[in-house]
Structure 1
Amino acid sequence: MSMAGGREVGYALIGPGYIGEEHLRRLRALPGVRIAAVVGRGGVEAALADAAVDVVLIATPHTTHAELAMRALAAGKHVLLEKPVSHRLSEARAITETWRQARAAYPNLGYGVMFQERMQPIWRTLRGLLAERVLGRLIRVTWIDTAWYRTMAYYGTGAWRATWAGEGGGALINQAVHRLDLYGWLFGRPTRVRAIGALSKHHAIETEDEATLLFEHADGMIGHFITSTAEFPGTQRLEIVGEHGRLVWEDGRLVRERTSTSVLRFIHENTERFGVPTSVREDVTLEAPLTDPHAALLAEFTAAVRGEGAVPVAGEDGEASVELVNAAILAMHRDAAVALPLEAAEYDAWLAARIATEGGVS
């Protein structure tokens, strides 16, 4: 359902809370955009029936996303979902399937997710470098994502926060999901996930407030991912190691260390007892970070609705990070590796059992 004739794009916001109000501010600043409706759950039906509504922007708690998104798509409305698309992989897949079916009647129907970090130049630069295989075969990725310090005052802002029934998880599904989305976008889907974590270790909450994940990839690459809402000052550091050196991102700076030869080949060709390849260290030139990546994503999504380019972060891409979170939570509680692709029903059964005993910590 593409826009023609240059008329204004009408947005309906579902969920006028803090995040929703921020999106309204951004939308009002976008040329060619009109706010057609701002509703809570009680006004959804009227908004979906309104011909002036082209796009439905959903900013409700993510446990409500699936029902709202599927209703909007079935009604022929473009949908932009706040992250994560859901707390359960089964629901994420159901939204995508609804979108695919709706396209039979509305071929240009757009479905996107608000992973605004993908708009930042650093990640687009890194994705380009990896596509060029500047490091050759990748050996290891270590991502420390702990700059998410939260106190009980934060968790006290909503009874749903950090509960299994209300949020479907803790640090992984709420905070770390941004970087887990980027992990999948940059490095692809792992084949197995292992995890160590703790419930209520530092906070009086039901869900995890720290987690360490280990990803195994089909090509032999190993990934580590560490997150926490209890560390201050936190760390944001990404280290990518390959056969031709490494890339390190930290404090807004990207450094490349390139080796004179493949370190994997050098292992077998070197004849000196403690021989090592030579290496050169250099800074990678980066564009300045965006001050408001949300606004950039909204602008690109609106352009896509008009038929001027692609949806910036496709909604089906939102499945990948939910799958990683669900697999990690299962692995954490089973103390065993979980294979991907994940059987969504497996996680649903575990979560239902957990919710039935919610309030206990194990």
Structure 2
Amino acid sequence: MNQVRYGIIGIGNMGSGHAAILTSGKIKGAVLTAVCDAFESKREWAKEQYGAGVAVFENATAMIGSGLVDAVVIATPHYDHPTEAIAAFAQGVHVLVEKPAGVYVKQVREMNEAAAKSGKTFGIMYNQRMNPLYQKLRDLISTGEIGDVRRINWIITNWYRPQAYYDSGTWRATWAGEGGGVLINQCPHNLDLWQWTTGMMPTRVRAFCQFGKHRDIEVENDVTAYAEYANGATAVFITSTSDAPGTNRLEVTGSRGKIVIEDDRMTMYRLREDEADFNARNTVPFASPEVWKIELPKAGPSPEHAGILQNFTDAVLNGAPLVAPGEEGILGLTLSNAIHLSTWLDDWVDLPLDEAVHEAELNKRIASSKFKRPQPAEARN
């Protein structure tokens, strides 16, 4: 094989965006050969947009069965991601799934098992892993530049969404429609980067979600979460969709300094010696370690979605290592599920997550959800 023939499942906002990249010729070794969508208006739009060179189908089963695709990009509503992926793997097709991997860990675990059984390439659209800023952060932490991680603080409140956004579709911000709010819709990239850059998953989480704060919605739109790690480190994660103006500031403190990312810039505060070593030898009551402030150069542009598509294509064709393996989608989702569950139970939640308890609590909220009927494709994507 010298070219990957792509099919896109769902051609709303995200799906059409991926199609635009694939048809632009920017992705070496890739070609868009088919798309599918359950809504006729989207299919008619696709026929006009892409012409005779791209086949248009009503569903993924027909598209995959046509023999026209080697890989699919899944850009359907959240709950459908694992179902579509499992069906594609069963037909021997490679899968690149949009974030989030799913809504609850149990269904994503089943997707991961299907991927492993199929032997096909499996990726997730974590395009922020392509951002040189976060790649640099991961590199500095993993190589020990700031020593052992002690504290992680991320305040990510620049996800502002007005009521008009939530009113644009009755599926939005509902348990049955999206499966959650800011955690499942806006923050999957941040939750992934939280664990990916530090290389750590917490051992337990205590969280406080507020549902419909300053907005007429049923899901969380204001979150404060606290996490603890096996090495004694702690983390605080704060997010909201009603702060104006919002903040995006990430701090990672280690035994040899601190890294701060804000306004797309990285600053490192480097201790001359490890804090534990300084503390052991110091005899002066108000002394502190010598620290150097280092402004790292701008990281440069990020290839974003195109970068993930190129990497995935290279993985299928040449076995290149995936920047965002699909199996890792379960990690950020575990954090999201744990934050929800801690709030629902008003208690600590230990990791690994009790998946059955989380699913049962989610189902209670789905049963009382305001979402009652499918929405047009224009609203759903």
- Shorter-chain TM-score category? over 0.9
> C-alpha displacement at 1:308, in angstroms?
4.5
Specify which of 275, 299, 305 is matched with residue 294 of structure 1. Answer: 305
**Corresponding residue of 1:12:** 7
Whether the 8 Å CA contact 1:212–1:226 is kept in 2: the answer is yes
Residue 37 (structure 1) aligned to one of 9, 13, 34: 34
In structure 2, how many angstroms separate the alpha carbons of the residues matched to 1:144 and 1:237? 5
Residue 297 of structure 1, CA deviation? 0.9
Question: 1-side partners of 2:171 and 2:183: how far apart?
Answer: 15
Question: Match of 2:214?
Answer: 202
| Structure 1 residues 230-264: Cα deviation after superposition (integer angstroms, max 9, x where no partner) | 11221111111111111111111111111222223
Q: Distance in 2 between matches of 1:31 and 1:232?
A: 41
Unaligned runs of 5+ in 2: 39-57, 372-381
1:306 matched to 2:317? The reply is yes
The alignment's TM-score, normalised by the length of structure 1, stands at: 0.93
1:226 alignment counterpart: 238
The answer to whether the 8 Å contact 2:153/2:236 transfers is: yes
Helix, strand or coil at the partner of 1:164: coil
The separation in 1 between residues aligned to 2:127 and 2:169, in whole angstroms, is 24
CA distance in 1, matches of 2:298, 2:357: 42
Q: Deviations over 1:97-122 (max 9, x none)?
A: 0111112xxxxx11110010000101
Distance 2:281 2:209 in 1: 41
Partner of 1:99: 115
How far did 1:31 drift? 3.8
Give the match for residue 379 of structure 2.
Answer: none
- Go from structure 1 to structure 2 and tell me whether the alpha carbon gap of 1:274 and 1:316 turns closer, same or farther (over 3 Å shift): same
Q: Which position in structure 2 is the counterpart of 1:106?
A: none
CA contact (8 A) 1:193 1:331 kept: yes
* CA deviations over 1:280-315 (Å, ceiling 9, x no partner): 11112343022x411111111111111251222100
Are the equivalent residues in 1 in contact too, given 2:28–2:310 (CA < 8 A)?
no
Distance in 1 (CA, whole Å) between partners of 2:330 and 2:69 is 26
In structure 2, the residue matched to 1:151 is: 162
Identify the residue that residue 357 of structure 1 maps to in structure 2: 368
CA–CA distance in 2 between the matches of 1:9 and 1:286?
34
Partner of 2:343: 332
Aligned pair count? 349
Match of 1:284 among 264, 289, 296: 296
Aligned-partner Cα distance in 1 for 2:29–2:271: 50
Query: Partner letter of residue 94 of structure 1?
Result: E
Report if the CA contact (8 A) 1:162-1:205 is conserved. yes
Q: Within 5 A, what are the aligned runs for 1:101-180?
A: 101-103=117-119, 109-180=120-191
Gaps of 5+ in 1: 104-108
How far did residue 33 of structure 1 move?
A: 2.4
The one of 7, 16, 24 equivalent to 2:19 is 24
1:211 equivalenced with 2:227 (yes/no):
no
* CA RMSD across the alignment: 1.4
**Counterpart residue identity of residue 115, structure 1:** Y
When normalised by structure 2's length, the TM-score is 0.89
Equivalent residue of 2:250, what SS?
A: strand
- Identify which of 275, 282, 294 aligns with 1:263: 275
Whether the aligned pair in 1 keeps the contact of 2:210 and 2:221 (CA below 8 Å) is yes
Native 8 Å contact 2:124 2:325 kept in 1: yes
- Percent identity at matched positions? 39
Q: 1:72 aligns with which of 84, 88, 105?
A: 88
* 1:303-337: CA deviation from partner (whole Å, max 9, x where unpaired): 11112512221000000011110110010122211
What CA distance in whole angstroms lies between the structure 2 residues aligned with 1:115 and 1:257?
A: 28
